[in-house]
Structure 1
Amino acid sequence: MSENPPPNPYGQPYPQQPYYRAPDHEQAATVLVLGILGIVLCQVISPIAWVMGNRVVREIDASGGAIGGRGAANAGRICGIVGTAIIGVGVLFLLLLAVLFLVGLAAA
């Protein structure tokens, strides 16, 4: 007595499809490396990572899924933004020190 199994209440499973992964953009890893280096070592390259990251993310979005690497490019872009903000805070701090120094010289 062989009985048929009950039907799947959620429908039939999808047939197995071969896994396809879109190739990463050729500059996605470069943007990520520049962004990390911009935070850690030399903030001068942070704006470069920010601008390059914007361009690479735009190209990936325009490809319609044919190009991957958006996560790496976006992370590098964000690191570039953070590094650029660090530059801005540093410049403001140096300007404040210069003003305080000049005021101290004028008062003396």
Structure 2
Amino acid sequence: MPPQGGYFRPPDHPQATLVMVLGVLGVAFCGLCAPFAWLKGKSTLAEIDASNGTVGGRSQVYAGYIMGIIGTVMLAFALLIGILAAVLILIGASADTSTY
């Protein structure tokens, strides 16, 4: 019986770390990074799936992808709150407060 070879993990996708970093930054610090993590993560996941196991790093990319989605939702919510606050301030400023 010939000797058995060991299992060697395939190399990570070159963009795996980038997606993870963008996802973390998008959730924790700068919400503007989150949509980029989402989009880059989606395309990187597709490339990993198409590689038939020759490229790894799927779990790292998937974590960054999910954080990108969460960060994008948080960014959209913050923008919605900001727009609502601006509208309410404008309505309050234009209201006539005189009591003649």
Q: Give TM-score, length-normalised by structure 1.
A: 0.81
CA distance in 2, matches of 1:98, 1:34: 29
**Which has the higher Rg, Structure 1 or Structure 2?**
1
Which protein is richer in helix relative to its size? 2
Structure 2 unaligned segments of length 5 or more: list them.
none
Q: What TM-score comes out, normalization by structure 2 length? A: 0.86
**The one of 44, 53, 75 aligned to 2:63:** 75
- The size of the alignment, in residue pairs, is 94
Report whether the alignment pairs 1:43 with 2:31: yes
Q: Which whole-Å deviations, capped at 9, do the CAs of 1:17-37 have from their partners, x for residues lacking one?
A: 512211110110110011001
Q: Which residue of 2 aligns with 1:4?
A: none
Which 4+ runs in 1 deviate beyond 3 A?
none
Read off the aligned partner of 1:82 and give its amino acid letter: I
The percent of aligned pairs where both chains have the same amino acid is 47
Match for residue 84 of structure 2? 96
Deviation of 1:16 after TM superposition, in Å, equals 5.0
Q: 2:75 aligns with which of 87, 91, 97?
A: 87
Q: Which amino acid aligns with 2:36?
A: I
- The unaligned stretches of length 5 or more in structure 1 are 1-14
Amino acid corresponding to residue 69 of structure 2 in structure 1: I
State the partner residue of 1:12.
Answer: none
Find the aligned partners of 1:51 and 1:81 in 2 and give their Cα distance: 9
1:57 aligned partner = 45
2:13 equivalent to 1:25 = yes
Cα distance in 2 for residues equivalent to 1:88 and 1:78: 15
